[in-house]
Structure 1
Amino acid sequence: MHNEPGSFARRIATTCLRDIDAIAWRYVREVRELSGYLDSVIDDDELFRAAKASLEMLFGLIAGADLDAQLTAHSDALGRRRARQGIPLDSLLRAVRMDFRFLWNAMRTYVDEAEMPAFSDEVVTIWDAVEVHTISVHAGYMAELADMDRELELARAFLLRRLLEETAHDPRLYAQAAETLDLDPDGEFLVAVGSSQYAGEFRAAIRSAFPTATIDRLGGVEFTIIEASSLGEEMAAALRATPTGLSPIAAGVEELGAMWRAARELAALVQRPDEAATLDRHWDRLAADRLDRVIRAYARQALAPLATVPDRERALQIEAVQQYLESGSITRTSEALYCHRNTILNRLNRFSEATGLDPTVPYDAGTIRLVLAVSDGSVASGSAG
C-alpha cells in the first residue's frame, strides 16, 4: 500500500500541519517542565512562536517539502537567540532532543493501531529531520557564545583603555568598569606592568604565583591587576621577585589609571629578571623623568663645582655618596667599599662642601638622589647634562 519510501510519514506530517497551533501549545507545556526555561526569560508567547516555526518546518520536511536550507537558518537563529537569552546549553539541548519524542508522539495520535508497523518503519525519516534541527541549533548557540565572548573582550579592552588612560574624573566610567571587569569599586589593587626586556619571565612568574590572574595588554605593555587583599606574605614576596613595575596600592577603581601609569614607568627601570621596580627604590628616577629638563638643569648647576676635582677623586666621592644613600650608615658604607669610616666621612664632607648638598641630611639626601639619577655617569666629565 505504501510503495514510496516515507509516504506514510509524509501523509501523517501533512495532517499534523493542519493542527499545528494545538500541537505547538502542547510542546510549550512540555518545555516548561524543563529546568532553565524560566517565564521571566522567555514567555509562553515567544516559546509558542518558536515552537510553531520549528514544528512547521520539521513536519514540512517530513512531508517532502524542500525546507532544508530554511530549517538550518531557522535552527541556527534559534540557537543564537537562546544563547543571548542565557538559556543553559544543557537545557536547550534537552528541549531540542525532546523534539524527536514529541514529533513521534504527535504523529502517533493520527495513526491507527493497525498502521503502527508501517509508521514504525519510517522512524528514520523523522529522526533525520530532527537531527538537522538539533545540529543547527547547537552550532548557532556555540557560534553566538563565541561572538559574545569576543564582544566581552572588546568591551573589556575598551573599558580598560578608558579606565587606565583617562585622566578626567568620571564616576560613571568607574562604576561601569568595575562591573565589567568584576572589580570591587572600593577595593584595593596593585598594578604590575611587565618589563619588555623580561616579558617571558613576567608572564611565567604571574601565571605561577597568580594562576587566576588575567594578563592584559595595553599601550604595548602587558600588565595585571591584583587585589591587594588576596596577597599573603608568600605571594607578595613572589611579586617583588617578578620583573615588573609594581605600583603603590590603589584605593578604589578610580586610582587604577594613575597606578597603571606609574607602574608602566617603573617597568622601564627593571634591571633584573628576579626583581621588581618599586616606588620606594626608584622614586628618584621616576621623579627625574617627569621633571626632565628642570632637574637636569639643576643637576648641572649643583654638580658644576665637581668639575674642578680630579676625575678619580670625583668618582670616589660620588661612589661613597651613592653607597651611603643606599644604607644610611657610615659603617655599612665603609664595609661595602672596603674603606676606613674616616675615609668615607672625608669623601662625604668634600662632596657636601663642593655642592652644598649634605648626604647625611635627609632633606638634601632626596635632592642628591634626583641629581645623581639624571647624571648617568656624565659627572666624571664635569657635566650633568
Structure 2
Amino acid sequence: MHNHVRSFAAQIAESCLADLDEVAWRYVHDVREISGYLDSVIDDAELFRAARGSLEMLFGLIIGDDLDAQLMAHSDRLGRRRARQGIPLDSLLRAVRMDFRFLWNAMRGYVAEEDLPAFAEEVVKIWDAVEVHTMNVHAGYMAELADMDRELELARAFLLRRLLEDGSRDIRLSRQAAESLGLDPVGSFLVVVGSLPFAAEFRAGMRTLLPAVPVDRLDGSEFAILDVGSLSARELEALHALPVGLPPIAQGAEEIGDLWRVARDLAALVDAADRAATLDRHWDRLFTDRLGAVAGAYSRQTLEALHALPEREQSLLIEAVREYLANGSVTRTAAALYCHRNTVLNRLTRFALATGLDPTVPADAGAIRIVLSGAGPRSASAPAPA
C-alpha cells in the first residue's frame, strides 16, 4: 500500500510538471499578495523564472528524482539573490513556506475525489520537500548577507585608507573619500584612537557614549571619526575620560589623516583606562618619540653634568623640577614635596647650574620637558623622600 501511495503522488507531481508554466504563473499571482514582493523590486518575468525553478525542484523531490547539483543549488541561489535585492527575510520565508499550500492545491487539482484519501497520506512527503527548499533558501540568504557585510567592510577599509593615508597628499582624494564615507568634506572632525592595552574599555565607552558612531579598525588601531558639529559639550567632555589618544580638531577632511597619526601616537601614551592622552599634557613625550635618536642625544648632552652627581641628588633635583613644571609655583611644589620653599629654590638652582636650563624661565621650561622625557622612563628618576 505504501509503495502504491508513493507512486500515486509521483504520478500527480509528473502531471504538474507537464503544466509547469501554467502552475508557475499561478504562483506568481499568489506571491504578489505578500508584502515585500512589489513589482518595482522584482518584475513578473524574474518572479516567474524563480517560481518555475523552485516548482521544478519541489516536484522532482516529491517524485524522488536524482536531481542534479544545479537544480538543487537553485534554493541557495534564490536566497542569495533576494538578499541582494533587499527583500526582507520574513517576506521571503513567507513566500517560500507558501509553497506547501500552493503545491498541495496545485496537485489537488489533478486528484479525483475518490483518490483524495490516498493523496492525503502524502502530506509529509510534500512538507519535507518544502522544508528542504526553505532551509536552503534561508541558508543562502544569510550567507549572502555575510558576504555583503564583508564587502561593505572591505569598501569602508579602502575608503578609510584613502582618507587617512593618501588624503593628506591629495586634497581631492581625501574629500572624495570623506563624501563616500558620509562625512562633510569641509566639516570639523575629532579622531579618537583607542589605547591598545585598554581596547575593551574603549569599545565599551564608545558604545555607551556614542552608540551610533562606528568604531573602525585599520593597521591594528581602533578608532572613530567624530563630527564635532554633532557632539554636545557633555559628550566632548566625556571623551576625556576614555582611554584614547585625543588630538586637536581637524578642519576639513584633508587634515583627518595627519591628526589620526597624532591620535595613534597619543594613544600609545595612555597609562590609565579612564583618562585620555592629549597634546597639551603629553606634547613633550610625543615630540620626543618623533624626534627619536635626536631627542636622546640632546637629553644625554644636557644632562651629562647632572648625571655626574650622586644618584640620590639627581633624583631629588629632577623630582623638584618636574613638580615645579607641573604647577608653576615654588610654594605649591614645597607643599607637594613636604619641604621648605628655600629647599625647592635651591634644587631648581642646582638643576639650572648643572644643565644650563632654568626651570623658572618659560623659554627653558619647554626644553626641560623634552630633555627629561628623552632621558628614558619616568621611573628612572622616581621621586625620593625629601
Is the CA contact 1:193–1:245 (under 8 Å) kept in the aligned structure 2?
A: yes
Gaps of 5+ in 2: 382-386
Alpha-carbon distance in structure 1 between the residues aligned to 2:123 and 2:171: 63
The alpha-carbon deviation at position 86 of structure 1 amounts to 1.5
The aligned runs of 1:1-385 (5 Å cut-off) are: 4-67=4-67, 70-113=70-113, 115-166=115-166, 167-169=168-170, 171-172=172-173, 175-176=176-177, 179=180, 185=185, 186=187, 188-196=189-197, 198-199=198-199, 201-203=201-203, 205-206=205-206, 209=209, 214-228=214-228, 235-236=235-236, 238-303=238-303, 306=306, 315-349=315-349, 351-352=351-352, 355-376=355-376
Alpha-carbon distance in structure 2 between the residues aligned to 1:352 and 1:279: 26
TM-score by length of structure 1 reads 0.81
Between 104-113 and 44-53, the greater mean CA deviation after superposition: 104-113
Question: Structure 2 counterpart of 1:77, which letter?
Answer: R
The alpha-carbon deviation at position 326 of structure 1 amounts to 0.9
Alpha-carbon distance in structure 2 between the residues aligned to 1:16 and 1:170: 64
Alpha-carbon distance in structure 1 between the residues aligned to 2:171 and 2:85: 31
Is the CA contact 1:191–1:259 (under 8 Å) kept in the aligned structure 2?
A: no
Structure 2 CA distance for partners of 1:355 and 1:163, relative to 1, 3 Å = same
Alpha-carbon distance in structure 2 between the residues aligned to 1:123 and 1:176: 57
Between 338-347 and 318-327, the greater mean CA deviation after superposition: 338-347
Alpha-carbon distance in structure 2 between the residues aligned to 1:379 and 1:140: 61
Deviations 1:183-208 (A, max 9, x none): 55535233132143x45554555555
The alpha-carbon deviation at position 310 of structure 1 amounts to 7.0
Alpha-carbon distance in structure 1 between the residues aligned to 2:69 and 2:308: 90
Structure 2 CA distance for partners of 1:361 and 1:39, relative to 1, 3 Å = farther
The alpha-carbon deviation at position 51 of structure 1 amounts to 1.3
Identity of aligned residues (%): 65
Alpha-carbon distance in structure 1 between the residues aligned to 2:34 and 2:313: 87
The number of residue pairs the alignment matches comes to 378
Is the CA contact 1:61–1:68 (under 8 Å) kept in the aligned structure 2?
A: no
Structure 2 CA distance for partners of 1:261 and 1:62, relative to 1, 3 Å = same
Gaps of 5+ in 1: 381-385
Structure 2 CA distance for partners of 1:129 and 1:195, relative to 1, 3 Å = closer
Question: Structure 2 counterpart of 1:288, which letter?
Answer: T
The alpha-carbon deviation at position 272 of structure 1 amounts to 3.1
Alpha-carbon distance in structure 2 between the residues aligned to 1:205 and 1:109: 63
Deviations 1:222-266 (A, max 9, x none): 444455456556655554334333333334554333233222222
Between 80-89 and 291-300, the greater mean CA deviation after superposition: 291-300
